[in-house]
Amino acid sequence: MPGVAPQVPTTPSPEAEVAEFTATIQKLRADNQKLYDRLLRKQAELDNLRKRMEREKEELREYANADLIRALLPTLDALDRALKQHDTRVPDEFYKGMELIYDGLLNVLKRQGLEPIEAVGQTFDPHWHQAFGTVEDGQHRDQEIVEELLRGYKLKRRLLRPSIVKVAVTTKTNNLLADGINPSRRNY
């Protein structure tokens, strides 16, 4: 085309090329660091997930029999009550046989992690005991369990069934409560 001057490609100066390459390298390094940080977070998440799944799996293994054991507790209770009601008209061999059955069942359940909760003589703990009633008694400590109506059980470290108990209450506490005074609240 006449009158139009051909365009000559301009070459950038070496300083401009270095600056461009430096900027590209810095951008690539920043992208690389972001990807590396993301990889580390994902690896940590995966590790935490693996640990949580392992804990849940172990917990499931430990407590898988809880429903079965809970269903067997009334049978254990019935055998215990029957052994306490000793009738002289029934031969001793019958009670010895029942004791063997009771001990055998209890031992199988203990091997699975069942533990009876200690109650009589202990201080009342609402985490392990359920109060059925109170007994006004000056011979026992306040909040001491004086009678166990139904034995409670733990399965390993968890409560399976609370002990149903009667708790001693001292006369002093009863008098304070009757007067409308809360003994745990002190006026100084």
Nearest to 95 by CA among 106, 104, 86, 107: 86
The pLDDT confidence band at residue 74, using thresholds 50, 70 and 90, is: very high
Which pLDDT does position 50 carry in this prediction?
94
pLDDT tens for residues 49-68?
Answer: 999 999 988 888 777 788 88
Taking residue 55's Cβ as centre, other Cβ atoms within 10 Å add up to: 10
Task: Indicate whether 13 pLDDT > 70.
Answer: yes
pLDDT tens for residues 140-163?
Answer: 788 888 888 889 999 888 888 899
d(CA 112, CA 24): 65
Most confident option among 4-13, 20-29, 168-177: 20-29
- DSSP 3-state of 3: coil
Residue 45 structure tokens: 């998440």
pTM of the model: 0.59
Which pLDDT does position 99 carry in this prediction?
92
Which pLDDT does position 16 carry in this prediction?
83
End-to-end CA distance of the chain: 109
- The β-bridge relationship of strands 163-169 and 145-150 is antiparallel
Which pLDDT does position 185 carry in this prediction?
45
Angle between helices 92-111 and 66-84 (to 10 degrees): 160
pLDDT tens for residues 90-115?
Answer: 888 888 998 999 999 999 999 888 99
Residue-by-residue DSSP string for 77-96:
HHHHHHHHS--TTS-HHHHH
